[in-house]
Structure formats: C-alpha cells, structure tokens
Chains A and B, each alone.
Chain A
C-alpha cells in the first residue's frame, strides 16, 4: 500500500512557464515533507522541505505548498528552466525516527 503517491509519471512544460508537481499521502501521522531531484546516473539531491505546521515554503524558484486537510502537497517551479529536467521525488516522514517514505517520482521535461 503506497503511503506517498505521485500520480503523474511524467510532465512536460515549456521553458519559462510554471511546473507543478503533485504528491498525495495517506498517512495522517506524516509531519515533514521533502522534495528530491534526481538526474540520470546520480543520486537524489535534496531540494526543499516543509513542516506540517506550515502551508508554504519558498526557496528561490521553488515553492512547496501543503494542504493537510486534503493530504496533498505540490512543488511549483517558476520559471522552469531546461536544467530542471529531472525526476522529482516526494518524500514524507512521521515523528520519531521513522524512515522517509518516497513516492515513485515524476519525470519533468522542460522544453526550450
């Protein structure tokens, strides 16, 4: 049973436009959420995170929104750049030393 779901396996966006990547979760105990970015032949790299006490966190072109009632979070990239083309993983963690639970990822392609 997948606790973290990324229902869109792929997304294609034009350069300069907004990219919106979505993630849903089922475990109401999750209180910390992260996005990782992965290029081919490399390990995932941490991108941005949000605690459940917030509903928005911004870092440059990247903003993560959290809707706890809907158990949904999204990552917005504005403006999208070709270098953003990668696989994006959503991950979640519950309190205590519980492991990160990852979604299956969304492959973003930014077209010049």
Chain B
C-alpha cells in the first residue's frame, strides 16, 4: 500500500459527460501528479500540483482540468468525454516538488461508452 488513495476505482460513463476523479496523497506529501495510461501506452504525464499551485503541465487536453485543495487532496475533472478518453488514470505524490520517486495510487479505470 503506497498510502495514496484514489476514488472511484472504476467509472463507466457516456460520451459527452463530465467526471471527477479524486486523489489523496500520502501523509506529508505536498506534490500531486496525474497520469493517463491508455491501452499499450506508457504513463503520460498530465499535470502536477505542489502545495496548491500548478507546477508543471504535460499533454493535458483543454477539456481536462485539475486542482489541489488546501488539505492537499486533488481532483481531476474530465469533461465532454470521448471514447478515446477511456484509460487508467493514476495519481502519484511526492514529498517535495521534485519528481523523483513518486508514489502511485491504484488508479481509476475510466470507460467511456
């Protein structure tokens, strides 16, 4: 158990809908990262927050947004969902703003039908 929690574990929704994925980092970790893993793909970095502020952005679509709250949990919002958004979404956390040795949650499997 990495100490990072993600909810829900599975999510099935229709095209055009909006969903919110939630992540609670390990106790004491200030940084949260979001990744997308599509079929046969590696982990694609989406966005990083550090202590409530956006720190780095990857190939995140404009339809996607995220935030980190004062209690350090984070939410990833995906809107106008398309079939191609079906993927595993992982959250990771680390103590500081550095990206080394991130601890991953179990992921949320999103299926868009």
Residues of A with C-beta under 8 A to B43: 44, 89, 91, 100, 102
Among B41, B43, B100, find the residue whose CB has the most chain A CB atoms closer than 10 A: B43
Residues of A with C-beta under 8 A to B105: 43
Residues of B with C-beta under 8 A to A85: none
Across chains A and B, the number of contacting residue pairs, with CB separation under 8 Å, is 62
Cβ of B48 under 8 Å from chain A: yes
B106:A43 contact, CB within 8 angstroms: yes
Task: Report the separation of the CA atoms of residues A99 and B104 in the bound assembly, to the nearest whole angstrom.
Answer: 14
Nearest-CB distance from B70 to chain A (Å)?
Answer: 22
Task: Report the separation of the CA atoms of residues A91 and B103 in the bound assembly, to the nearest whole angstrom.
Answer: 13
Residues of B with C-beta under 8 A to A34: 100-101
Residues of B with C-beta under 8 A to A98: 56, 99
Cβ of B67 under 8 Å from chain A: no
Task: Report the separation of the CA atoms of residues A101 and B56 in the bound assembly, to the nearest whole angstrom.
Answer: 13
Residue on A nearest B31 in the bound complex, by CB: A97
Specify which of B33, B97, B104 is in contact with A45 (CB 8 Å cutoff). B104
- The B-contacting residues of A in range 62-112, CB under 8 angstroms, are 89, 91, 93, 97-105
B99:A43 contact, CB within 8 angstroms: no
Residues of A with C-beta under 8 A to B45: 99-102
Task: Report the separation of the CA atoms of residues A45 and B107 in the bound assembly, to the nearest whole angstrom.
Answer: 12
Q: Assuming A99-B48, A102-B42, is B100 touching A93 (CB within 8 A)?
A: yes
Nearest-CB distance from B95 to chain A (Å)?
Answer: 13
B42:A105 contact, CB within 8 angstroms: yes
B residues adjacent to A (C-beta < 8 A): 2, 4, 33, 35, 40-45, 48, 55-56, 58, 90, 92, 97-107
New A-B pairs, 10, CB < 8 Å, besides A43-B4, A93-B99: A4-B42, A6-B42, A43-B107, A97-B55, A97-B97, A99-B45, A99-B58, A100-B45, A100-B99, A102-B35
